[in-house]
Amino acid sequence: MTRIFAIAASALLLLLLVVLGLVALRRTSEQALTDCGDGIVLAEGAGAIGGPFTLTDGAGRRVTDAEVITGPTLIYFGYAFCPDICPTDLARNALAADLLAERGVETALVFITIDPERDTPEKVSAYAQSIHPGMIGLSGSAEDVSAAAKEYRVYYRKAGDDPDFYLMDHSTFTYLASPGRPFVTFFRSDATPEEVAESVACHSGSSGT
């Protein structure tokens, strides 16, 4: 009886240690996701943002998300006629990418239009490259753009009735993606180039280098 009790107690203790180990491992994994300077990446539910898309680049080629997200990638949705916030955010992303390059972290820059009516693939590509020579500009049909925007929960709508000089209301987040992870974290417009670079480096496993 005593021996059976001892065996049962040992088994119970072993089970407890396994459970505690799994809990500690999960907490460590979650902490790794939230300790990169943004504090907004969640271990659960992150898959609700980001997903596959197919758009057209400046050369007229149809490209998929897998073809442009080949490493750490900063994705921004906006439009070429945007008067202020889009060029400001895109310039911030470009500066962050340059800072990361100095640290050996090659980061892709992707600009997706939410105004396909005016932004042809050629126009978007030229606009993107005017901000940074490595920035990829993507457009497509209204359906293509809508599908990509829905994957990233991007809000946008036409504001005004002028057929040529209308503005677009839209959300202004920059999304960090990586191969196999269409959404890692996001950055608001008030994040500095240094903050973006530090977070991207951390999520890429290169923090402090």
Residue 184 has pLDDT above 60, yes or no: yes
The whole-number average pLDDT for the span 121-150 is 98
pLDDT for the residue numbered 48: 87
Q: Is the dihedral of CA 123, 124, 130, 134 positive or negative?
A: negative
Same domain, residue pair 30 and 132: no
Residue 115 lies in a domain: yes
Same domain, residue pair 155 and 186: yes
pLDDT for the residue numbered 206: 77
Structural domain containing residue 16: 1-34
Same domain, residue pair 72 and 170: yes
d(CA 14, CA 35): 31
Residue 118 lies in a domain: yes
208 C-beta neighbours (distance < 10 Å), count: 7
Q: Nearest-CA neighbor of 93 among 174, 201, 178? A: 174
Here the tokens at position 174 are 């920059």
d(CA 115, CA 159): 11
The whole-number average pLDDT for the span 165-170 is 97
Residue 30 has pLDDT above 90, yes or no: no
Across the chain, what does the average pLDDT equal?
Answer: 85
Per-residue pLDDT of 54-88, as tens digits, reads 999 999 999 999 999 999 999 999 999 999 999 99
Higher pLDDT, 27 or 126: 126
Q: Report the range of poorest mean pLDDT among 17-21, 85-89, 141-145, 187-191.
A: 17-21
The whole-number average pLDDT for the span 165-193 is 97
Residue 7 has pLDDT above 50, yes or no: no
Same domain, residue pair 65 and 22: no
pLDDT for the residue numbered 38: 62
Per-residue pLDDT of 32-61, as tens digits, reads 445 675 645 444 445 589 999 999 999 999
Same domain, residue pair 21 and 93: no
Same domain, residue pair 84 and 6: no
d(CA 45, CA 40): 11
Residue 39 lies in a domain: no
Same domain, residue pair 11 and 74: no
Residue 173 has pLDDT above 80, yes or no: yes
pLDDT for the residue numbered 196: 98
Residue 175 has pLDDT above 90, yes or no: yes
Cβ-in-10-Å burial (0-12, 13-18, 19+) of 52 comes to: exposed
CATH number, domain at 66?
3.40.30.10
pLDDT for the residue numbered 25: 31
Higher pLDDT, 138 or 26: 138
d(CA 64, CA 135): 16
Residue 40 lies in a domain: no
Overall pTM surpassing 0.85 (yes/no)? no
Overall domain count for the chain: 2
